Amino acid sequence: MAFKRVLVTGADGFIGSHLTEALVKAGYDVRAFVQYNSFNSWGWLDHCDPDARGKFEVVAGDVRDYQSVAQAMKGCEAVLHLAALIAIPYSYTAPSSYIDTNVKGTLNIVQAARDLGISKVVHTSTSEVYGSAKVVPITEEHPLRAQSPYAASKIGADHLALSYHLSFGTPVAVLRPFNTYGPRQSARAVIPTIISQVARGARSIKLGALKPTRDFLFIEDTVSGFMAALECEGAIGQVTNIGTGFEISIGDLAGLIAGEMGKTIAIETEAQRVRPDDSEVERLLASFDKARALMGWNPTYQGLDGLKRGMRATTAWFTAPENLARYKSELYNV
């Protein structure tokens, strides 16, 4: 391995906790940067895999604070930057918080990387920066179109990170995952929303728009993408998509999940869950040709069969009573 000691920001979150576990199991010396809170909660790391528990260092801080970030990065060779605000509906309500966290937070990361001589920064982007697909599959050359304040903040963060590479030689790689799903995902995402409602006995479930299509990427493949980007020298200065090259509509997805759970459901479109017309991203379908050529990365949960396999693992986790109890399926989670 080119790097031994790595920092993961946003390690307390859905993807970050899975990535932290995987890095530990792969032999990395991991420092997990979690958001400071008075409960001393480490988020999902409080419930991590026993094989990783106690084998990583935890530092609490705030990505919006430069001193906090720089202190956490000292002694690390590489940074995997996942800390972000990601809920699209909440970005309509609190857009300035997205600028502070996603843009200014990223500025703190790349400035500290420059100041400390960090050898690699992997910055997390999102497929939302493309907006509704103009051409499919979506390559990294697809135009960027912010259809929400969240997407705008991520476009800003992406370009800021890349500007440090171009301006100062800071070794930044931008990884652009499509729609990740799996155990521990927030209920603000559509798959946990569907599963938790069905698991609690609802036979008419509440969703937003049903026609948009998404390219869903299972958490194991997302994690392997981050690890590939970390170790790939050629990824520096590049934007790289990771996705499956398979799309499914939200309505068809709900039917697939219900079928896997052995239930028959009706779907009710609830107005508060529907994005403003011009803000809805109608279609996302990834090209991962660059990831395959550059990093040797391929998704293992690919096509309809791969989606079903990933969905079975996700459903099994969410329907375990101790996990389902953490979710308020009766509420709309913004």
Confidence at residue 334, expressed as pLDDT on a 0 to 100 scale = 87
What DSSP assignment string belongs to 27-69? Answer: T-EEEEEEE--TT---GGGGG--TTTTTSSEEEEE-TT-HHHH
Confidence at residue 333, expressed as pLDDT on a 0 to 100 scale = 85
Could you state, in chain order, the average pLDDT of each consecutive group of 10 residues for the chain (334 residues)?
Answer: 88 98 97 97 96 97 98 98 97 98 98 98 98 98 98 98 98 98 96 96 95 98 98 98 98 97 96 96 98 98 98 97 92 87
pLDDT tens per residue across span 78-108: 999 999 999 999 999 999 999 999 999 999 9
Q: What's this model's pTM, rounded to 2 decimal places? A: 0.97
In this structure, the strands spanning 29-35 and 120-124 are unpaired
pLDDT tens per residue across span 299-333: 999 999 999 999 999 999 999 999 999 999 888 88
**What domains are defined for the chain?**
5-180+217-242 (3.40.50.720), 183-214+246-284+302-324 (3.90.25.10)
Confidence at residue 139, expressed as pLDDT on a 0 to 100 scale = 98
CA atoms within 13 A on the CB side of 168: 18
What amino acid occupies position 100? Answer: D
Query: How many contiguous H segments (helices) and E segments (strands) does the chain have?
Result: 12, 13
Confidence at residue 329, expressed as pLDDT on a 0 to 100 scale = 86
